[in-house]
């Protein structure tokens, strides 16, 4: 039986037979100051979309809606874990952005200049992003959990002229200072920042360098007498650059444009998320990640709906915080991470039952694979099968979804654990490392065969690296290499099993980290699991597992055996668990991704490298102590 609806199949055929016409029709749904001369040019590895067309990402987010009479509608709702709340209508947000745009010009920022933003998810950060796009400056948002060196090297690579920051960010009841890290980052070789703007949020004294440092209020005063008009931007001019996730190597700065990026995220907002102007949309991400760019800021505002920006942890000050925000704002659609879902699952459904969640009509997850047990908890227990819980997949480099379940077109049957189908307009397939297309069910690497508008067309300042890292990984073929280990079933559903470089090789068998972690989650005691490979003299590699239990369960030898039996039942005898360690928390980034390289470093007793993005550094020491205790208990290193 055909699972994919006729309308989705028709869109896929249309995109395959006439990709330029398909994306041109999507682009026509947005305002343009000047139409394009040509839809697409491709000189591998680089490409251009909507050549000659003029637009402006920030104008289409704000001015367009105000001009059509939508100015009184709520655009942005800001909340934080301290209970503070601000609401901006489209007209109010436009005025704030125009003022900041004029102040940027007063600061000496011009079209094409790079502006670094090292701020929490707060209104001033979002206003600065939009103001940069408005005047044609290129923003580089650096996650406010990165350390000084990570911030400095990103600013140096981008050639940032100005830096915006805050004195503190809020995290689990603490004021986390930022200004000291900024001062240190400004000393990194190659950093050439001329002006630093600091948003003051406390009364604590901070060092200010005369001639370089300004407060937010001093910055806004520079708007007097300056032009706040938007710049018409050619479609292929950069709107922003953003470092790809991961901190183990020199960062790669992906470029996203005013034209193609805008068309892609707007189309996917409609096709995948079903976003409409009347929606109240909450993406629980941070603006430091691409999800925050695309689906906290730009796509919701392009649609004209209300977007919520939340600063803080979703379980602070209590496990009901997540649900309180939903109920208070009548949220209709949620985008969160599987890690956040598993965090909520750890507390059970009781905190949710104190709040009215009836406004929610759909939930989306991305960031890692939404394991089937986590999906079942969200779908069946938390939301009692009332609404769909939908997984999907994309990357920093793709700007928006590439695999998913097109809720906005026609919701397909959900297969728990699958990210859905390759979306209309995306040409993807599963290949071997040599580039041979693989049959259904066989695991390989997910590749994209042709550029689409949201795909980064280049890396900032590193054209050769762009080709080498993405388009030249498969010998003799021009294919975009995602780096994800994947299989596709007979119905065209895509199943991701982890990064290709995280595959565990046990006696000639290849097992994805996601597969093992999902198997652990099948046991009702498990809230989260993180696994990595460790060397084994007989099998080449075995699995080292770190498990977080749900509330109400305690570690015991009996439970350990039950978990081992669960994994064996789910995956068979090939999934050899070399050791199982109970911990209270896993090392994760503040964007919610399990840092498996840190677990590997613990197991191998090596340096974990840069952990400046980690949620809680105590998780590393806890994993190390659990590992050492396990070795003592068994009396031999990892036996």
DSSP states of 202-266 as a string? SS------TTTEEEHHHHHHTTTT---PPPPEETTSEEEEEEPS--SSS--EEEEETTHHHHHHH
For position 247, what pLDDT does the model report? Answer: 41
Pairwise CA distance, residues 375 & 380, whole Å: 8
Q: What are the beta bridge partners of residue 543?
A: 533, 577
For position 612, what pLDDT does the model report? Answer: 65
For position 301, what pLDDT does the model report? Answer: 98
Residue 471 Cα distances to 162, 394, 482, angstroms: 33, 17, 10
Contacts of 356 (CB under 8 A, 6+ apart): 327
For position 480, what pLDDT does the model report? Answer: 97
Pairwise CA distance, residues 71 & 178, whole Å: 35
The structure tokens listed for 70 are 């939508």
Pairwise CA distance, residues 611 & 608, whole Å: 7
Q: Does residue 517 have a cis peptide bond before it, meaning omega lies within 30 degrees of 0?
A: no
Asked if residues 177 and 150 have their Cβ atoms less than 8 Å apart, the reply is: no
The structure tokens listed for 289 are 């990640």
Q: Does residue 280 have a cis peptide bond before it, meaning omega lies within 30 degrees of 0?
A: no
Contacts of 246 (CB under 8 A, 6+ apart): none
Residue 32 Cα distances to 26, 41, 544, 566, angstroms: 12, 19, 54, 56
Q: What are the beta bridge partners of residue 594?
A: 588
The structure tokens listed for 135 are 């005047």
Pairwise CA distance, residues 390 & 381, whole Å: 15
Asked if residues 106 and 226 have their Cβ atoms less than 8 Å apart, the reply is: yes
For position 630, what pLDDT does the model report? Answer: 79
For position 595, what pLDDT does the model report? Answer: 87
Coil/strand/helix, residue 1: coil
Residue 301 Cα distances to 53, 238, 261, 306, angstroms: 21, 19, 14, 7
For position 330, what pLDDT does the model report? Answer: 98
Where would I find the beta strands (DSSP E) of 134-228? 138-141, 162-166, 168-171, 174-177, 195-199, 213-215
CA dihedral 7, 11, 12, 14 (to 10 degrees): 130
Q: What is the largest CA-CA distance in the chain?
A: 75
| Planar angle of CA 352, 353, 359, nearest 5 degrees | 75
CA dihedral 246, 310, 399, 456 (to 10 degrees): -60
* Closest by CA position to 269, among listed 88, 425, 407: 407
Residue 147 Cα distances to 62, 176, 284, 416, 558, angstroms: 33, 12, 22, 37, 42
Regions in the chain scoring below 50 on pLDDT: 246-248, 636-639
Q: Report the 10 Å Cβ neighbour count for 89.
A: 18
Q: What are phi and psi of 86, to 5 degrees?
A: -135, 145
Percent helix, strand, coil in the chain, to 5, is 35, 25, 40
For position 248, what pLDDT does the model report? Answer: 46
Compute the chain's Rg from CA coordinates.
Answer: 24
Q: Report the 10 Å Cβ neighbour count for 474.
A: 18
Q: How far is C-alpha 507 from the chain's CA centre?
A: 34
Residue 438 Cα distances to 348, 392, 394, 499, angstroms: 41, 22, 21, 18
Global model pTM greater than 0.85: yes
């Amino acid at each position: 039986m055909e699972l994919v609806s006729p309308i989705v199949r028709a869109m896929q055929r249309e995109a395959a037979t006439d990709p330029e016409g398909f994306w041109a029709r999507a682009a026509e749904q947005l305002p343009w100051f000047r139409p394009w001369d040509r839809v697409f040019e491709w000189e591998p590895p680089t490409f251009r979309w909507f050549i000659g067309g003029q637009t402006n990402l920030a104008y289409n987010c704000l001015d367009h809606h105000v001009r059509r009479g939508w100015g009184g509608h709520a655009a942005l709702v800001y909340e934080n874990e301290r209970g503070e709340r601000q609401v901006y209508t489209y007209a109010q947000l436009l005025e704030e952005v125009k003022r900041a745009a004029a102040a940027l010009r007063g600061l000496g920022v011009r079209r094409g200049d790079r502006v670094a933003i090292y701020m929490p998810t707060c209104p001033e950060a979002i206003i600065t992003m939009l103001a940069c796009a408005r005047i044609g400056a290129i923003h580089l948002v650096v996650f406010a959990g990165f350390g000084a060196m990570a911030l400095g090297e990103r600013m140096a690579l981008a050639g940032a002229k100005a830096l915006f920051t805050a004195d503190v960010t809020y995290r689990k009841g603490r004021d986390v200072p930022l200004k000291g890290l900024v001062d240190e980052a400004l000393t990194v070789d190659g950093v050439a920042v001329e002006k630093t703007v600091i948003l003051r949020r406390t009364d604590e004294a901070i060092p200010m360098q005369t001639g370089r440092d300004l407060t937010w209020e001093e910055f806004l005063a520079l708007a007097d007498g300056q032009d706040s008009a938007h710049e018409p931007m050619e479609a292929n001019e950069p709107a922003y650059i953003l470092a790809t996730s991961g901190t183990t190597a020199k960062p790669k700065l992906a470029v996203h444009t005013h034209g193609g990026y805008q068309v892609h995220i707007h189309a996917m907002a409609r096709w995948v998320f079903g976003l409409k102007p009347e929606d109240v949309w909450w993406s629980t991400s941070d603006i430091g990640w691409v999800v925050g760019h695309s689906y906290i800021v730009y796509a919701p505002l392009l649609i004209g709906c209300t977007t919520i920006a939340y600063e803080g942890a979703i379980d602070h000050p209590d496990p009901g915080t997540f649900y309180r925000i939903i109920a208070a704002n009548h949220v209709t659609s949620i985008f969160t991470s599987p890690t956040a879902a598993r965090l909520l699952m750890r507390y059970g459904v009781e905190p949710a039952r104190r709040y009215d969640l009836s406004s929610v009509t759909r939930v989306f997850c991305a960031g890692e694979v939404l394991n089937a047990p986590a999906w079942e908890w969200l779908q069946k227990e938390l939301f009692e099968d009332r609404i769909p819980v939908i997984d999907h997949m994309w990357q920093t480099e793709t700007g928006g979804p590439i695999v998913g379940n097109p809720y906005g077109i026609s919701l397909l049957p959900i297969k728990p654990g699958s990210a859905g189908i390759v979306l209309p307009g995306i040409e993807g397939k599963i290949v071997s490392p040599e580039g041979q297309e693989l049959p259904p069910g066989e695991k390989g690497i997910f590749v994209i065969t042709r550029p689409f508008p949201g795909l980064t067309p280049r890396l900032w300042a590193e054209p050769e690296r762009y080709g080498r890292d993405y388009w030249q990984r498969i010998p003799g073929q021009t294919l975009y290499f995602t780096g994800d280990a994947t299989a596709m079933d007979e119905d065209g559903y895509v199943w991701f099993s982890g990064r290709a470089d995280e595959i565990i090789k046990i006696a000639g068998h290849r097992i994805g980290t996601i597969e093992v972690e999902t198997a652990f989650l099948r046991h009702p005691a498990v809230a989260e699991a993180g696994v990595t490979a460790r060397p084994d003299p007989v099998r080449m590699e075995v699995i080292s597992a770190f498990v977080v239990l749900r509330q109400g369960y305690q570690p015991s030898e009996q439970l350990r055996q039950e978990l081992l039996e669960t994994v064996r039942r789910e995956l068979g005898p090939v999934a050899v668990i070399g050791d199982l360690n109970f911990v209270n928390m896993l090392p994760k980034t503040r964007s919610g991704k399990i840092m498996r390289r840190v677990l590997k470093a613990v197991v191998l007793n090596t340096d974990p490298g840069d952990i400046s993005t980690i949620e809680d550094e105590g998780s590393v020491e806890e994993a190390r102590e659990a590992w050492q205790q396990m070795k003592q208990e068994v009396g031999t290193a990892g036996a």
